[in-house]
Amino acid sequence: MLRTVITGSGSYIPEELIENKDFLKNSFYTPEGKQFENSTSDIIEKFHAITGIQERRYASKEILNSDMAAEAGSKAILSAGIDKEYIDHIIVAHNFGDVSSNEPIPDMVPSLASRVKHKLGIKNPYCIAYDVIFGCPGWIQGVIQADLLIKTGNAKSILVIGSETLSRVADPFDRDSMIYSDGAGATLIQAIESEDEIGLIKHTCMSHTNEEVHFLMMGQGYYEESKNDNYMKMNGRMIYNYALSNVPPALKKCLDLSGLDISDISKVLIHQANAKMDEAIIQRLFKLYGQSEYPEEVLPMSIDKLGNNSVATVPMLYDLIKNQLLSGHLFQSRDVLLFASVGAGMNINAFTYRHP
């Protein structure tokens, strides 16, 4: 039977380290344009307590999003040991294209996938390159698309990348800017013949676009002298409530479709924008199965060191664990993983995966 298996992975972690203390020089404003009365140090302390973020990485000024994506993709190809000319599809998940370090203007023509194919030097005209714009769940959606292509016999090797420079669309006068970071993660997905149930098992997707559609959107800067319309804005409280209400049952549905119980799951690789939110999501998921607590090792976290780099978070997390670069975590043969994400749209998706 044809299986969808991750055969290679790679990451690009930018070198520029930004610690929480580096924001002490910033002044933060409300959406109404008024400066917060409490000190910046108090804001940073509360931010750390809520999100768990201590530091994050920013791409250096000369590096574009497509550069990071190509570097991560190159590592994934090398990891898989495949000739790049045999790749059938390149799917790049992002939300803002290439954004220069000078001004937050998204550049999405040509597609990032086309730029990545060019930078990888792939000549094969039958290697189709295209983008997925799906909020933070974009990389997972790309993997789901790859699975459908493989299962229908339309592809054998697919490069799926998640890459973003969120730091360049963040309003420096908005305290939410401390959440965002840059990075890229990539996976080489291949069709493998196996009678064993390995690789991707089942997936679930949801999309809420009523009032939820504006929980994340582009908007003006908060400081009167910085009224750029191209900054990413979010309603953190509404997103938190939305995620806690909708993500746990979506994950349970994915497990149910897979014929799995929560006790079968070795790791949950979930998008990380807020540590407390992720912990609450997994806590509620386990409660749906009648368990009041979850094992700490089931929820690997990278947000403390890498922040929220959108579509790159989950593939980077996978790559770190695969290469035993995340302390206390590793994959073993036959481990069942649950990949999940929630983000702008609002979109939720997940898939179950049995590690070969």
Q: Provide the whole-model pTM.
A: 0.96
Decide whether 2-193 matches 199-354 in CATH topology.
yes
Amino acid at 240: Y
Whether the pLDDT of residue 301 is over 80: the answer is yes
Element at 142 (helix H, strand E)? helix 138-151
Phi, psi of 252 (to 5 degrees): -65, -40
In the structure, what pLDDT confidence band is assigned to residue 25 with cuts at 50, 70 and 90?
A: very high
236, 242 in Cβ contact below 8 A?
no
Closest listed residue to residue 142, CA positions, set 73, 181, 90, 193: 90
Phi–psi pair at 197, nearest 5 degrees = -80, 90
Please tell me the CATH superfamily of domain 199-354, with its number: Thiolase/Chalcone synthase (3.40.47.10)
pLDDT for 226: 66
Rounded Cα distance, 152 and 164, in Å: 30
The CATH superfamily holding the domain 2-193 is Thiolase/Chalcone synthase (3.40.47.10)
What pLDDT digit, counting tens, does each position of 183-239 carry? 999 999 999 999 999 999 999 999 999 999 999 999 989 987 766 778 999 999 999
Share of the chain above pLDDT 90, in %: 96
Is pLDDT above 90 for 346?
yes
The mean of the pLDDT values for the chain is: 96
pLDDT digits 0-9 by tens, 257-283:
999 999 999 999 999 999 999 999 999
What does the domain layout of the chain look like in residue ranges? 2-193, 199-354
| DSSP one-letter string for 330-351 | ---TT-EEEEEEEETTTEEEEE
Per-residue pLDDT, averaged over 57-67, amounts to 97
Mean pLDDT across 177-184 = 97
Residue-wise pLDDT tens digits, 124-173: 999 999 999 999 999 999 999 999 999 999 999 999 999 999 999 999 99
The encoded tokens of residue 162 equal 């998640």
Gap between the Cα atoms of 36 and 30, Å rounded: 7
Helix, strand counts (H, E) of the chain: 8, 13
With a cut of 90, say whether residue 103 has pLDDT above it.
Answer: no
The backbone region for 206, taken as left when phi is positive above 0, alpha when psi lies in -120 to 50, beta otherwise, is beta
Is the pLDDT at 17 greater than 70? The verdict is yes
Contact status, residue 284 vs residue 250, Cβ threshold 8 Å: no
Determine the average pLDDT of the residues in 63-83: 98
- Chain position carrying tokens 């990949």: 339
